[in-house]
Structure 1
Amino acid sequence: MVNFNGSLIDSAESFFTSENRGYKYGDALFETLKVVNGKIFFWEDHYFRLMASMRIMRMDIPMNFTMEFLEAEILKTIEANNLSNTSARVRLNVDRGEGGKYLPGKTSKVAFNIVADTFNEPFYSVKDEQTYEVDLYKDFFIAPGLLSGLKNNNKAVQVMGSIYAQENDLENCLVLNTNKSVIEGLNGNLFLVKGDKIKTPPLEDGCLKGVMRKQVLEILSKDVNLYTEEASISPFELQKADELFITNVIKGIVPITKYRKKTYGCELAKALTNKLNAKIRLGA
């Protein structure tokens, strides 16, 4: 079942037309949520990121788009798909409706839809036997700027990069901006560990303003033995690192085990994953 503007309909039915602006122009935003036993992980952070993104996109935010309203609609969708007592991956999509060309029509109104499916990992983990090889994706670059950090429907670089990764037997690729700095993975933010220093690219470089990125930075800020900075990462730094890992809300912290001829450990990734799970259990 799909939730379309508050109505539950069968997923086989068409719930928008070819005039939908998200389909025609990518005039849409989305949040990918992890929900376990009816609890939305980091819902407040997701909600405020969505609202900020809608303002940047100059969308007219409906008066009923409160945090409580959207949470209730998400949980309604979860229940309709019999996922209330298990783990689920949810996508909340917001678009500007129909009408207009590049300029939205006068009758265009913001709409939302919610889809949910099963996800079998309730908590986050780092598996010792897991291999995760990456390389740079250099066919296309991302321009730094405010729009690059939005979770919108314009994901051509991620699509092309994912095809490249599959063709080259890679689990993921690292994306560059137009200044040739490494900014993120195809599906999450990047962290680099060298000794007691941890770096992650700044938002100004064009990386996604990730919800899991925020959680990890908050955990790291409480460790007096580590120095964390948001700074640009050059490709030359990757092979000098002790650890590299990618973060997103669905998978948590994913250690990179190999980049070209360099292999990496995952000690900090494991420690951070334990602290992340503890934070979730405490309801933070």
Structure 2
Amino acid sequence: MINFNGELLYLENVTLSIENRGFKYGDAIFETVKVINNKVVFWEDHYFRLMASMRMLRMKIPITFTLEFLEKEILKTVAVQDQAAAYRVRLNVYRKDGGLYKPKTNLIDYSVDVKAFSYQIQEIYKLDVFKDFYNYSGLLSTVKTNNRMLNTLASIFADENDVDNCVLLNERKGVVEVTNGNIFIVKDNVIKTPALTEGCIKGIVRKRVLEMLTKKEEYVVEETSISPFEIQKADEVFITNAIMGIQPVTNYKKKTFTTEIGKKLANSLRILQITEK
């Protein structure tokens, strides 16, 4: 069942107007969250990112859109699904119908879509770089909008070239992220990830990994610009997102990586997801 503006509906009873602005203009944002044991993982982080994104996009935030209200709506929707160990939840927020490029209103509708899922770390995970189009740097690129054509094309490229994922580049040909998450590279004791100014999504698990790493004195952590050539020189590479957590990369072009640090961080993250209140 789908939660549509607070009402639980069977999928076949959900109707979106042809004037839906998310469909016509990509005038929509979303949060993808994980639910484990009836708990929305890292919910505060997701909530405050959603609020910041809505403000940036000049959407009117309903007075009811509190942390507690949206959490309740998510769990209400999860409760009517088939029993599963974990769920992938997509919270969609989009401006109400009407207007051409200029909307008639900044009022919003929302929906909550839930699917059961399970993810196991892949022992072999191949990466390549997508060069056909760029992910332009700037604050707007850090927001999870529905404008994901670049990610779609890069995912098709990955499938056609028998790799699991692709690195996206910005207009300066610097590393931004991968098609579905953030990227970290490890060289000796230095762990780097693209800075937000490079155009990467302000990932929740990215934030949590950075917090974990800054507590480990053996590593130097840098949010900076990264050249694609640095990936080939790296000892390890791993990617992060809210659903899979941390996935170590084993291959990039002809380079093979170790996965020790990525796997240790993945285990620490799993424990944090379960134990954090």
Name the structure 1 match of 2:205: 212
Match of 2:92 in 1: 93
Provide the residue aligned with 1:278 in structure 2. 271
* Cα shift readout 1:34-75 (whole Å, capped 9, x = no counterpart): 101211110000000000000000001111000100000000
In structure 2, relative to structure 1, the CA distance for the partners of 1:79 and 1:281 (3 Å cut) is: closer
In structure 2, the residue corresponding to 1:200 is in which secondary structure? strand
- In 1, the alpha carbon distance for the partners of 2:4 and 2:82 equals 17
* 1:126 shift after superposition: 4.1
What is the alpha-carbon root mean square deviation over aligned residues?
1.2
**Partners of 2:129 and 2:168 within 8 A in 1:** yes
Question: Is 2:197 the partner of 1:199?
Answer: no
8 A Cα contact 2:36 2:274, kept in partner: no
SS in 2 for 1:270: helix
3-state SS, counterpart of residue 198 of structure 1: strand
CA distance in 2, matches of 1:214, 1:273: 14
User: Secondary structure of the equivalent of 2:18?
Assistant: coil
The CA deviation at 1:275 is: 1.6
Map 1:17-32; keep pairs closer than 5 Å.
Answer: 17-32=17-32
Counterpart of 2:96 in structure 1: which amino acid?
G
**SS of residue paired to 1:3:** strand
What are the residue-to-residue correspondences of 1:145-184 with 2, within 5 Å? 145-184=138-177
Q: Report the counterpart of residue 115 of structure 2 in structure 1.
A: 117
User: Could you tell me the TM-score, scaled by structure 1's length?
Assistant: 0.95
Per the TM alignment, residue 280 of structure 1 is displaced from its structure 2 partner at its CA by 2.3
1:13 aligned partner: 13
Q: Unpaired segments of 5 or more residues in structure 2?
A: none
Deviations 1:79-123 (A, max 9, x none): 11134x6311110000001011111114x52010011011124xx
Q: TM-score, normalised on structure 2?
A: 0.97
Letter in 2 for 1:14: V
For residues 116-171 of structure 1, give each alpha carbon's deviation from its aligned partner in whole angstroms, at most 9, with x where no partner exists: 011124xxx645xx111111000100111111010010000000011111111110
Q: Could you tell me how far apart the structure 2 residues matched to 1:154 and 1:229 are?
A: 28
Question: Counterpart of 2:181?
Answer: 188
Q: What percent of counterpart residues are identical? A: 51
Read off the aligned partner of 2:251 and give its amino acid letter.
Answer: K
The ranges of structure 1 where at least 4 consecutive aligned residues each deviate by more than 6 angstroms after the TM superposition are: none
- 2:133 aligns to what SS in structure 1? strand
Aligned length: 277
CA shift digits 1:4-39 (9 cap, x unpaired): 000011112233111111111000000111101211
Q: What is the one-letter code of the residue matched to 1:271?
A: K
C-alpha distance in structure 2 between counterparts of 1:252 and 1:126, whole Å: 9
Partner of residue 104, structure 2? 105
Unaligned runs of 5+ in 1: none
